[in-house]
Chain A
Amino acid sequence: MQIYLPIAEMSVNVLLILGMGGGVGFLSGLFGVGGGFLMTPLLIFIGVPPAVAVGTEANQIVASSVSGVLAHWRRGNVDLKMGTVLLLGGLVGSGLGVVLFRFLRGLGQIDLAISLSYVVFLGIIGGLMFVESLNTLFRSRRPRKSAKAKGSGGRHNWIHGLPFKMRFRKSKLYISAILPFAVGLLVGVLAAIMGVGGGFVMVPAMIYLLGMPTQVVVGTSLFQIIFVTANTTFLQAFLNQTVDVVLSLLLLTGAVIGAQVGAKAGARLKGEQLRILLALMVLAVCAKLGLDLVLRPDDLFGLARGGGH
């Protein structure tokens, strides 16, 4: 069954798009990542123009994040205060990111910049997360209970010396607001350049940099992603007219259902197992994109897209 996408200007199989939405939505609910870093390359792979893929994906992440955050909200796993500070940083960051995006596009190397930032960030984060969670897993197998529990202990002193200290009750943290703001800002910049929600950067940053408990991390990052991707959707629709609502509706129909199932499955898995799975997935995408950069392309020539009108 085929449907014509008015903005992407192509016809696609409805079941294929629903399936892609469902699959990525499942992972999104499971890990608390928006899934953009999987869906955007997938959409480009099936022939959607990259600019439309990025704009539409942002819109779809809004939906799956709303649906995902509801499930976490009911379990009390959203730290609103932390989410708001992250969000403020995220909005500033995505503004900066849009400026940087335009600058890179002016240089004519935006494709390379996107691919490289994917490879670098997915590689670093996936690698760190994989090693860390393997360590945790082996430690927890020993009879001694994990002595080095997560929390505020063992942090560098200068971090505790930062001003604007705030108490984040849900996250059981008493840290400077500058820290989550900076994390949000960095993720916002990346989100704008890479055309993703940024959950795959934010989730590890919240766990390892801020020291938040894993349970709260997922709901809180989804909460923040809703607003950052809504902002991206608006900017893309307003500046580039690259948001295809038909494609987005199809994707989100699959994704919201997938996200619900994923969130339920996630509740049954241990934190370390979740992290190992997420790490492996991130590394797989990184390897694919890295190989594409390094291997000799099948066709050295290509048609430039998206800038023709």
Chain B
Amino acid sequence: MVWRAAVARAALGALLLLALLAAPARAQTQPLVADLSKHLVAITTGFSGTDVLLFGATDGPGDIVLVVRGPPGREVVRRKDRAGIIWVNADSVDFEDVPAFYWLATSRPLDEFANPAVLERHQIGTGNLRLPVADFAEIPPQTRTDFARALVRLKTAEGLYGEEQGVVRQLANRLFRAELHFPSNVPVGTYMVEVYLIREGEVVSAEITPLIISKVGVGADIYDFAHNQPALYGIAAIIVAVAAGWLAGVAFRKS
């Protein structure tokens, strides 16, 4: 299970490297260029979600599709079932390499311009996400689809998955821009922002830009302290609590 994820990551890394190496050489004839207003989203103490501007240009008319993918990880979906008079967790399905975040934005409703086979190939749209199941052979296909649908629905309810059709603004068939919104519960990690240029139903050009989301400042320090020095952190937490309680007690005696 773990090695598969590792291979996938390595493959992704290689692809990215290739894309980076290839980019300058093709710069002259590239039908599509795009960039982000920032490549690092810092989660600070005051973080309550953020917007990142994506902008770019095409060499002519065409539709734009944006896909933001969060770092892949494992997700376990459970289904409750009746046992006597109470509802308990019964079946569960393990999904591997599930993007922690998935957001789709388009210049027009997808069904007006894109070929469904193309969308499926590029995993464009939450319905086209490939969600690999662990213990694949042991789980019947119907169960797999039920659980996969539930996974997408639950992630959407958390604000981590979503689709917005027609929000990519185009100007004079050349320039385009879109706001990417990241909610406050956005997972940290390396994100991939994919931009597709679609003409006559087919992808004619694509570009991938990485986006890093990470904690910085006091919050990051606290997180690191908690994970690197857990025993000290626990003691510090107790001292803070006792001191705060005592302070309040003393303050109230005077009043």
Contacts and interface: CB of A to CB of B under 8 A. Distances in A.
Interface of A: 2-7, 9-11, 47, 59-60, 62-71, 74, 108-109, 111-112, 226, 230, 233-239, 241, 243, 245-246, 248-249, 252-253, 256-257, 259-260, 293-297, 299-304, 307-308
Given A301-B77, A303-B154, A294 B242 contact: no
A63 B77 contact: no
B89 A109 contact: yes
**Interface of B (DSSP majority class):** helix
A4 B245 contact: no
Contacts of B121: none
Nearest to A25: B248
B-side interface size class: 35 or more
Nearest to A60: B241
Given A234-B238, A303-B154, A11 B250 contact: no
B47 to A, nearest CB: 4
Interface of B: 43-49, 73-81, 85-89, 92, 147, 150-151, 153-155, 184-185, 187-188, 215, 218-220, 222-223, 226-227, 230-231, 233-238, 240-242, 244-250, 252-253
B150 A301 contact: yes
**Interface of A (DSSP majority class):** helix
A301 B234 contact: no
Nearest to A234: B234
Nearest to B94: A304
A221 B184 CA distance: 39
B245 A64 contact: yes
A296 B247 CA distance: 46
A303 B76 contact: yes
Contacts of B75: 303-304, 308
Contacts of B76: 303-304, 307-308
Contacts of B73: 308
B245 A111 contact: no
A94 B162 CA distance: 43
